[in-house]
Chains A and B, each alone.
Chain A
Amino acid sequence: MSARLHWTGVVALLGAATLWELAVAGGLVTLQFLPPPSEVARATVELVASGALPAAVRHTVVVTLVGWLVAVGVGTLAGLLLGLSPTARRWSGTSIDAARAVPPVLLVPVALLLFGFDVRMELLVVVYAGVWPPLVATAGGVGGVPAELLDVARTLRLSRAATVRRVVLPAAVPDVLVGARLSLTTCLVLAVVAEMLGNPAGLGNGIIRASQGLQPAAMLAHVVATGLLGIALDAAARSLVGRAPGGGAVS
């Protein structure tokens, strides 16, 4: 999607928000759990003033980024080793696919058993989910270096180590970056999920607490903050590598 902000779109959004506001004010629509934008704005101001929202954002951001760094580090390294060794790939490929197939949300009960309602539980879930994109992408990039490039290395009589360092790694960089980018989105999603289902901190937890306390405006305020965080992280990831193949990553 284009990163430029289309003014038509902003106007449309503001127009819709105004309509919503007027509809509620005019008594046309009374959805008990869908408060008008003014109430959401008010709740947001309150939450920011009390420090609750900034603290939640900070928590989610820190967990996401730390988990992401660990996931990218581990995943890229493992992907590198797998990519360099067809034997390793042969004997572990399906196993990795199987491990990847586990929906990360179900790691939450496992992590809860291990760590309780703790930030380590969140990190475990985030890292588990975030490790696969870099692993698969790096393995693909390293393993798929074009034959011509490898021929060049052979012609120049480069040692294996030198070939890896000077031909394979640079050729695999685009894949590594794509893996890192996809991982960031995944990490945010799972951080929020882990907070909703387990660790009592962060934006996810804020959403749950507000919904259980029947405070829809506060809940929406947290949801909006989560969305904005998603956009910010997406933009940061985009600056890392540009568009992912296929027209955009799915969060």
Chain B
Amino acid sequence: MKIAHFADLHLDAPFRWAGPDAGRQLRDRIRQTLRNVVDVALEQDVDAVFCGGDLYEHDFLTPDTESFLVRAFADLGDIPVLLAPGNHDYFSPESAYARADWSENVHLFTENRLEPFDLQDGVTVWGAAHLVPANTPGFLDDFSVDRDGINLALFHGSERGWFTDQEDGKQPHAPFDLAQIGEAGIDHLFSGHFHQPKTKPLLTYPGNPHPLSFGESGERGLVIATVSDDGHISRETIGVSPTDSHDIRVDITGLGHRDAIRDQIESQLSSLSGIARVTIKGELAPEVDFRLTDFDDVAAHLDAVVVRSGDLTPGYDLDQIATEETVRGEFVRAVSNADLPSVDRDLILTIGLRALQGRDDLAVV
């Protein structure tokens, strides 16, 4: 039996770092990701498609996306689609889960306790739903299966052992311990919530299939799990995102003008596709006049580019200037000795030294 499992798609999620235009484009890419999930599931001739929650964003879901979602799952024909609402798409009478006219192959878990679904003879899928956006208790607490055969589980939850390893800001929704899976008689738990993909013998977190932010690593996407008759799981992850995410650092040390910096950025982005975050770092030559907004239109072939300044040091011989018995020397000494964040210190030095040079291009922020 083959199961296609994904989670944390976050349809209609706002991309706060991208702005409205790129954000809309990326939301379209997330839709494309779901279409790819459907295509791969059909190609792989899976027996069921699981979604481990956070399929969409409750607060942002548009009618158009809701309609698209219904159509996408309907395209799977007779292949059962099991949906376990998460904290971002919790089930409620007002939710799209309750509103939409799902095709018959879609089964929705709507209780905040594990409920059985007979996927096949001898194969039971225990699923549960988040009914509120926060403070959902653990589904595996005091739970054990009541039947023989293969018992799989599907819900959106936080494995406590990994919680501290996960990205900042994650709340321990529906927490559970790894040991609880086996103790409950579950042969394998297909889950969602952590965007960082992780696998254990009894647990699968597929990660968010489409990039939601930068710095995401690990093989992520649609997990094709083959369940043997004894409940053993073998997994394969297939990328389904049409968007690559790149985190690029551009060193501008030695670059004497903004066109050179632009060339450097475009050079590093020219062969890429998808979305990119460019962090400008290095020594900012004193004569270089640029602002981050100068690069808003760089690499137009990408879906979105975010240019930010990183570890950008002023291109001055600060040690030398600090020896001067001048206002400039005193300024550099004072700023260097001040208790400031390094980024602020470098920017203040750049602004002050440029001002002392009589320039009007004082800041890059």
Tell me, yes or no, whether A binds B: no
A residues adjacent to B (C-beta < 8 A): none
B residues adjacent to A (C-beta < 8 A): none
